[in-house]
């Protein structure tokens, strides 16, 4: 009898070492899980697991620290970049990442992220833009599109009353201290691969001490959008990308020379 | 080390540095700013971390992050800035990480002014941030004491994985006095086992303040409470002056206690058997010591640079056994020894009363004398 053995070279897909083996609390189809996975893969590939400290934020990803198998701290709502600054300044040779939603980073925590970027703080922000406040049940976020219905904009975001969505990457890209600020999307495999590449570059930027880095990831919230995951992915592609174009918003000259 | 002429804010900063401070995060606000400026100059030259934060909210969360690595870390501010830090303080307390905070109080509420006051007693001693937590609060009355208590604050913060606050008013921050700084301690090179420093060769460490499961949250609360009981049992500090035969007791902390001491000396010269109890740890408060004084004291006088915040803690300790009177100045006005002497004379003349609330009686006297 021939026993077939799977040799390591043949393994094409397995749980990254940096992810804990457990079920997450994310809703089915939610792209938080995709973002977690690509971040964990890159951390594994770069051999950073034992040198990384994550700063979790307040939002659906509040329990990110349960899913990543490295050291984490948990910030108050919006304050992750300040907390990350505290960690990084004491431990400059460690990798410090934040993982923040759009309500967390672009609303209550806008000051903290702007100043961390302006200081050129050597941290990496993973910014999950899902156009609403997921955890609290789908209220309007600073990223909610004009006309988009949420529980706190029940007739659709009225820009006369609620103003316009914030393009955080474009805004942060104006800051000299920001070395690498890009937007990617998680709505299909091609874009996910591009997002992973950006995660890699961002962490490389931090590893080499080149300044602040952020990867914005367009993400879905099927539960609060009231859609199936597939519909949500399509809505992201059709509605979000025109307002939030995928692209590189700041690549400082030193980052441009990076070979990743 | 020799005594030198030192400014309060700078002396505290240098004392913290010599206590092995590894990181300082702050935001300018009078009358505390010299502390931040001293750090701006000293910390980088020693190769330690200094950041002028974007706000007090930023500063306290930087402290939170650094505290999670187990580093010796502090911030400093003044009343309005401290209000803004309350969110972070609650989180730091809940996460059980050590941190030191210096509050150089000024006149309030609101933007108030930049003159000395003690009106942050309640927000520091009785919380301010949400949830059940306690901070250790130490109140110096001289620059030497400010130096010594700053060093002690770091040791207590680490011993109990707690927040330790050095609480002083603007006059102490601004004035100069001869004092002696401690020798330079080496910066610690190791990190505690619980710290988030990277999971190299060990299980990961997670530092958080969230316990979604109510029984777990209750357990966390109980842990905090038990630790607080331990602090209450071991860390009460106060100083007594002329208390051996005192029949009247003045209670005052920080600068108000210091002014009261001048008044007590004058009253003694007049033959009034009065003493001063100056709480140094406002939290834990010397409740038992004050309660014990009821055995021999006929009446108490509480003196503060606020509208009677510590007064309530003294009243709880006295528990209706003896009359308690109050004298305060507010809004950045400091009391003069004469004013306190006048109040001591009233006690000695048997005018202390049980009727109503001491604050109301004081207000009556204040407006009546106008
Ligand atoms: C100071 C404070 N205000 C409000 C909240 C309530 N809150 C929890 S999560 C959240 C929104 C998070 O939304 P987002 O950052 O977009 O992340 P998502 O849940 O969508 O991933 C809010 C408002 C809080 N925890 N703290
Ligand atoms: S509520 Fe939305 S963002 Fe949160 S886990 Fe569910 S789908 Fe994801």
- Give the phi and the psi of residue B316 in degrees, each rounded to 5: -60, -40
Per the structure, the complete domain to which residue A196 belongs is given by: 32-252
Interface contact flag, A86 B197, Cβ < 8 Å = no
Domain end among B234, B252, B278: B234
What is the predicted pLDDT for the residue at A178?
A: 98
Cβ-based neighbours of B236, under 8 Å, separated by 6 or more: B281, B284, B285, B286, B288, B289
| Nearest atom of ligand 1 to the alpha carbon of A60 | 19
Are B64 and A70 a contacting pair at CB < 8 A?
no
The residue of chain A with its CA nearest to that of B86 is: A76
Nearest C-alpha in A relative to B50: A89
Q: Are residues B132 and B104 in contact, defined by beta-carbon separation less than 8 angstroms? A: no
Indicate whether B156 and B35 sit together in one domain: yes
How confident is the model over B309-318, as pLDDT tens digits?
Answer: 999 999 999 9
Distance CA B43, CA B48 (A): 5
Q: Is B245 exposed, middle or buried (0-12, 13-18, 19+ CB in 10 A)?
A: exposed
Reported ipTM: 0.94
Residues B160 and B216 in one domain: yes
Q: Which residues does chain A have with pLDDT short of 50?
A: none
Residues B329 and B211 occupy one common structural domain? no
| Mean pLDDT score across all residues of chain B | 97
Task: Tell me whether residue A2 is in a domain.
Answer: no
Least CB–CB distance from B25: residue in A51, A69, A86: A86
Residues B258 and B308 in one domain: yes
In-domain check, residue A192: yes
Query: B144 and B103 in one domain?
Result: yes
The answer to whether the CB of B291 falls within 8 A of the CB of B259 is: no
Contact predicate A30/A221, CB 8 Å: yes
Together in a domain, B228 and B117: yes
Residue A103 CB less than 6 A away from ligand 1: yes
Do residues B263 and B223 both lie within one domain? no
Q: For residue range B214-261, list pLDDT tens digits in order.
A: 999 999 999 999 999 999 999 999 999 999 999 999 999 999 999 999
Ligand 2 atom having least distance to the Cα of A60 = 4
Co-location of B196 and B65 in the same domain? yes
**Would you say B330 and B117 are in contact if contact means Cβ atoms under 8 Å apart?**
yes
Residue A24 belongs to a domain: no
Residues B79 and B204 in one domain: yes
Looking up residue A164, the CATH number of its domain turns out to be 3.40.50.970
Residues in contact with A90: Cβ distance below 8 Å, sequence separation at least 6, in sequence order: B22, B23, B49, B65, B66, B69, B71, B73
Give yes or no for residue B370 having a pLDDT over 50: no
At residue A223, the pLDDT reads 97
SS3 content of chain A, % helix, strand, coil (to 5): 40, 20, 40
A187 DSSP 8-state letter: S
Integer angstrom CA distances of residue B237 from A144, B35, B150, B152: 55, 25, 14, 12
Q: Helix-strand-coil percent breakdown of chain B, rounded to 5?
A: 45, 20, 40
pLDDT of A5 reads 74
> Does residue B213 sit in the same domain as residue B269?
no
Residues of B whose CB is below 8 A from A97: none
Find residues 32-71 of chain A whose CB sits inside 8 Å of chain B: 49-53, 55-56, 62, 65-66, 69-71
Nearest Cα of chain B lies from the Cα of A185 at a distance, in angstroms, of 29
Q: Does A17 touch chain B (CB under 8 A)?
A: no
| Tally of structural domains, chain A | 1
Distance from CA of B198 to the nearest CA of A (A): 5
- Each residue's pLDDT tens digit, B284-329: 999 999 999 999 999 999 999 999 999 999 999 999 999 999 999 9
Residue at a domain's end among B201, B234, B267: B234
B79 and B130 in a single domain? The answer is yes
Number of domains in chain B: 2
Q: What is the mean pLDDT of residues B5-9?
A: 98
Average the pLDDT over B57-68 and give the result: 98
> What does the pLDDT read at residue B321?
98
Q: Which pLDDT belongs to residue B369?
A: 53
Domain of residue B263 covers 239-367
Contact yes or no for B196 and A71 at CB 8 A? yes
- Tell me the residues of chain B between 50 and 79 that have a Cβ less than 8 Å away from chain A: 51, 53-55, 57-59, 61-69, 71, 73
Q: List CB contacts of B285: < 8 A, sequence separation 6 or more.
A: B125, B236, B279, B310, B313, B317
Q: Measured between alpha carbons, how far is B41 from B39 in angstroms, rounded to an integer?
A: 5
Task: Decide: A211 in ligand 1 pocket, CB within 6 A.
Answer: no
B230 and B245 together in one domain: no
Q: Which ligand is nearest to the CA of A76?
A: 1
CATH number of the domain to which B170 belongs: 3.40.50.970
Whether A11 is in a domain gets the answer no
Q: Give the separation between CA A75 and CA A58, rounded to whole angstroms.
A: 7
For residue A9, being part of any structural domain is answered with no
Q: What is the pLDDT of residues A62-90, one digit of tens each?
A: 999 999 999 999 999 999 999 999 999 99
Best of B190, B204, B211 to mutate (most A CBs within 10 Å, chain A): B204
Ligand 2 nearest-atom number relative to CA A25: 5
The CA-atom distances, in angstroms, between B157 and each of A54, A190, A241, B221 are 24, 51, 49, 18
Closest Cα to atom 21 of ligand 1: A60
Final residue belonging to a domain, choices B202, B234, B266: B234
> For residue range B85-143, what is the model confidence (pLDDT) as tens digits?
999 999 999 999 999 999 999 999 999 999 999 999 999 999 889 999 999 999 999 99
Question: Nearest CB to B23: which of A82, A89, A115?
Answer: A89
CB of A69 sitting under 6 A from ligand 1? no
Reported in sequence order, the residue ranges of A116-187 that DSSP labels E, i.e. its strands, are 124-129, 178-185
The nearest alpha carbon in chain B to A74 belongs to B208
In angstroms, what is the span from residue A78 Cα to ligand 1's centroid?
A: 8
Contact A113/B at CB under 8 A: no
Q: How far is the CA of A142 from the centre of ligand 1 (A)?
A: 12
By percentage, how much of chain A surpasses pLDDT 70? 98
Q: What is the pTM of this model?
A: 0.96
């Amino acid at each position: 009898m021939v026993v077939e053995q799977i040799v390591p070279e043949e393994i094409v897909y397995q749980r990254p070492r940096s992810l804990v083996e457990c079920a997450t609390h994310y809703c089915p189809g939610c792209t938080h899980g995709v973002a977690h996975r690509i971040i964990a893969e890159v951390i594994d590939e770069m051999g950073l697991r034992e040198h990384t400290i994550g700063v979790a934020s307040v939002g659906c990803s509040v329990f990110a620290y349960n899913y990543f198998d490295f050291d984490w701290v948990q910030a108050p709502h919006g304050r992750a970049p300040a907390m990350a600054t505290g960690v990084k300044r004491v431990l400059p040779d460690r990798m410090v990442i934040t993982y923040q939603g759009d309500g967390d980073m672009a609303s209550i925590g806008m000051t903290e992220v702007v100043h961390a970027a302006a200081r050129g703080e050597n941290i990496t922000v993973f910014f999950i833009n899902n156009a609403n406040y997921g955890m609290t049940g789908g209220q309007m976020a600073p990223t909610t599109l004009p006309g988009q219905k949420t529980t706190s904009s029940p007739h659709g975001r009225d820009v006369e009353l609620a103003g316009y969505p914030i393009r955080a990457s474009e805004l942060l890209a104006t800051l000299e201290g920001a070395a690498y600020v890009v937007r990617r999307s998680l709505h299909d495999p091609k874009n996910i691969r591009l997002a992973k590449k950006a995660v890699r570059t961002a962490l490389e930027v931090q590893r080499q001490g080149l300044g602040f880095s952020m990867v914005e990831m367009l993400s879905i919230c099927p539960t609060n959008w009231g859609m199936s995951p597939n519909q949500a992915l399509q809505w992201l592609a059709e509605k979000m990308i025109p307002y939030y174009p995928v692209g590189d918003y700041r690549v400082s000259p030193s980052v441009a020379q990076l070979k990743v | 080390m020799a005594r030198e002429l030192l400014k309060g804010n700078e002396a505290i900063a240098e004392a913290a540095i010599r206590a092995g401070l590894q990181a300082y995060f702050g935001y300018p606000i009078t009358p505390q700013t010299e502390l931040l400026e001293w750090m701006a100059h000293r910390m980088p030259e020693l190769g330690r971390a200094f950041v002028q934060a974007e706000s007090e909210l930023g500063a306290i969360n930087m402290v939170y992050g650094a505290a999670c690595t187990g580093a010796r870390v502090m911030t400093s501010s003044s009343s309005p800035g401290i209000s803004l830090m309350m969110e972070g303080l609650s989180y730091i307390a809940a996460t059980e990480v050590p941190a030191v905070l210096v509050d150089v109080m000024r006149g309030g509420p609101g933007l108030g002014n930049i003159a000395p006051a003690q009106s942050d007693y309640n927000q520091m001693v009785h919380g301010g941030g949400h949830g059940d937590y306690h901070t250790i609060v130490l109140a110096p009355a001289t620059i030497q004491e400010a130096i010594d208590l700053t060093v002690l604050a770091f040791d207590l913060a680490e011993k109990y994985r707690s927040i330790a606050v050095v609480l002083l008013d603007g006059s102490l921050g601004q004035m100069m006095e001869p004092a002696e700084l401690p020798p330079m301690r080496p910066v610690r090179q190791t990190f505690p086992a619980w710290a988030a420093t990277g999971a190299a060769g060990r299980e990961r460490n997670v530092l958080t303040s969230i316990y979604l499961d109510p029984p777990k949250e209750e357990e966390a609360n109980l842990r905090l409470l038990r630790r607080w009981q331990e602090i209450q049992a071991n860390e009460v500090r106060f100083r007594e002056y002329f208390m051996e035969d005192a029949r009247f007791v003045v209670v005052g902390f920080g600068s108000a206690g210091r002014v009261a001491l001048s008044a007590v000396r004058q009253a003694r010269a007049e033959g009034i058997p009065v003493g001063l109890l100056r709480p140094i740890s406002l939290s834990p408060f010397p409740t038992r010591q004050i309660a014990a004084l009821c055995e021999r004291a006929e009446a108490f006088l509480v003196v503060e640079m606020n509208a009677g915040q510590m007064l309530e803690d003294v009243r709880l300790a006295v528990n209706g056994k003896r009359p308690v009177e109050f004298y305060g100045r507010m809004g950045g006005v400091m009391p003069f020894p004469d004013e306190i002497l006048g109040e001591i004379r009233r006690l000695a003349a048997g005018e202390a009363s049980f009727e109503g609330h001491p604050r109301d009686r004081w207000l009556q006297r204040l407006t009546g004398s106008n």
